Amino acid sequence: MVLTADILGMLAFTLVAFWGVASWALVRTMRQESRKIELLEGQDRIDTYSPTALAELREWIQNNPDDPLVDDARRRHNECVETLEGTDRRFYDWSDEEVERLERI
Amino acid sequence: MADAKTARAEWGTRFGFLMAMIGAMVGAGNIWRFPYVMGNNGGGAFVLAFLTLLFVLAVPGLMAEVALGRYTKKGIIGAFRDVLGRGGLVGLGVIVLLVNVALMSYYSPLIGWTLYYAVHSLLFTFTAPGFEAQTFLDSFFANPALLIGLHTVVMASVAGVLLLGIRRGVERLVVYAVPALVIALAIMTVRGLTLPGASEGIAFAFDVQWEFLLQGSTWIAALGQALFSTGLGWGIGLTVGSYLREYDDVPLGGGVFTAIGESSIAILAALAIFPVVFAVGVEPDAGAGLAFVSLVQVFPEIPLGGLVAILFFLGFFLATFTSGVVITEVSVTTLSEETGLSRTQTVLGVCGAIWLLGIPSAYSPAILDYLDFVFGNWGLPLATLAIIGVIGWVLGPERLRLLAVNRNAGVHVGKWWDPVIKYVIPSVMIFIMAYYAWEDFGSAEMIGGMLVIVLLPIVGYGVMSVLEGRGGDPGTTDVTGGDD
């Protein structure tokens, strides 16, 4: 059977959709790992939340003050804020202005 | 032991965690089932349906399972107790445990089959003059002593790896075995694609028959593959995730890479197998018929067939063996935590119990097939429903996402994730169990499946009620009442 353009196109799409995405995820996560190790060699801790994720966590804490897990959430939030304030090099894309605006909850 | 009970073990490297996830999920189904299912359900159309379901169900589901393990840093039962509080409902974790033990009891004999064929590939049996694939398989299955002996060797080997611990045993195995599997399949792919007539195999697997996207059977097949191949909700992701280090990511590695990476190996298997099968003009098949008859008939017909056979069967053995090791680790981790026994004692106890329970499946491939059908169609979805149900309806997906999934994450997971975990995945699991019950209504398999669905929760609830004191103080829980 002759391999038609449809078949070759689907083969190419499949390779990109599976092997392409898996390779991207592997390379990205391994690079992030290297970055974290590099940061931890120069300081004892790194920021644990991205700006978006920390904003969501803060909003949830404020909206759920009686939740059984709110203390844990608050601890994680404040731990990230303290780390951001106490370190010069950050893992996520935090600007100095964003960090200055952060408050403990 | 390296994994002292006072200081919980952790993966030594990020790559070790990733390979543990892939090694666990890539098993026989990727190699002897996926290529045929793909080719018979519209080729490219099936790929699109499968890819869609991977991203809608498997990727978010695996993120949730790994995140729960990472958040609680406990095995199945301990994680369930953290969420549910002490009491009979922790028995939902016992369901997952029992399903894992049952799964491994019939998977170990199957690993034994792959080991037997791997050894014979090294002896160049399949390319010897006068070799008959079907006769060879029939005589193998008619030798219970050999089958039980192989099951024994497999469980002893699994125990040997697990006794070394998480880093020195499991991690050291998977960081070599998984890449070796990929390399073996890649070399076989190159060999297959350079054979005359290989294009027939590519066309069988990748021809796009769009009309299949409108057929329910295509989506059911893709759903089964997406759920069962990725091992979603079997306790594997939870257990492997419980050994993550402080700053490790969950969603990118535990979700996206695991689901898409393990499926990529299934795609590679299709590229490795069907070109050689079609080049020789052998009818494609699935299951033992593909691996142990069709392919074995192919090897003598192609140049360097003996070497290709070695690559295929060693790769096949590594795929199944790494799965077996990590599946068994699920029980070892949780029982070691719950009983207070040392890791050595737990490994020997769990592997001994699985060996004993696996003897009927080793003795008779028909029993193995029956258990595979019953637990594959009802036991494993029940386990998935237990894990995802607890996350979705007790812990609450929003809490888990904010507290664990997005913490140290390599990709941000938004609010879309919450309803997927709470509504979509549980609904799909209930649908798939009902669908299989309807399709096999009245059969011995369906009756066995219904017994599994009824008895396992009763046993789990009863055991944990007795162990944790049903009538007394239900204990405290940190997180109950979570309904987003």
pLDDT at B290: 84
Residues spanned by the domain of B183: 30-468
Record: contact A3-B203, CB cut-off 8 A: yes
Residues 6+ away with beta carbon under 8 Å from B482: A67, A68, A69, B393, B394, B395, B396, B399
If you measure CA to CA, which chain A residue comes closest to B182?
A19
Low-confidence ranges of chain A (pLDDT < 70): 1
Considering the domain boundaries, does residue B350 fall inside one?
A: yes
pLDDT at residue B465 tops 80: yes
Average pLDDT, integer, range B120-133: 94
Of B249, B477, B482, the CB nearest to A32: B249
Give the ipTM. 0.95
**Chain B partners of A53 at a C-beta cutoff of 8 Å?**
402, 406-407, 409, 412
Record: contact A17-B47, CB cut-off 8 A: yes
Q: Are B98 and B459 in contact (CB under 8 A)?
A: yes
Record: contact B260-A18, CB cut-off 8 A: yes
Average pLDDT, integer, range B45-64: 95
pLDDT at B6: 45
pLDDT at B479: 45
Considering the domain boundaries, does residue B167 fall inside one?
A: yes
If you measure CA to CA, which chain A residue comes closest to B49?
A14
Considering the domain boundaries, does residue B1 fall inside one?
A: no
**Chain B partners of A33 at a C-beta cutoff of 8 Å?**
14
Considering the domain boundaries, does residue B211 fall inside one?
A: yes
pLDDT higher at B8 or B230: B230
Give the model's confidence band at B298: pLDDT under 50 very low, under 70 low, under 90 confident, else very high. confident
pLDDT at B36: 85
Q: Supply the mean pLDDT for chain B.
A: 91
Considering the domain boundaries, does residue B475 fall inside one?
A: no
Record: contact A68-B203, CB cut-off 8 A: no
Could you give the residue ranges of the DSSP H alpha helices within B2-143?
14-25, 28, 34-40, 44-53, 59-72, 76-84, 91-122, 133-141
Least confident of B133-142, B181-190, B276-285, B470-479: B470-479
In chain A, where are the structural domains located? 1-42, 44-105
How many structural domains is chain B composed of? 1
User: Tell me, what DSSP letter sits at residue A88?
Assistant: S
Classify B71 in phi/psi space as left (phi over 0), alpha (psi -120 to 50) or beta: alpha
Q: What is the CATH number of the domain that holds B411?
A: 1.20.1740.10
Considering the domain boundaries, does residue B332 fall inside one?
A: yes
Record: contact B260-A21, CB cut-off 8 A: yes
pLDDT at residue B404 tops 90: yes
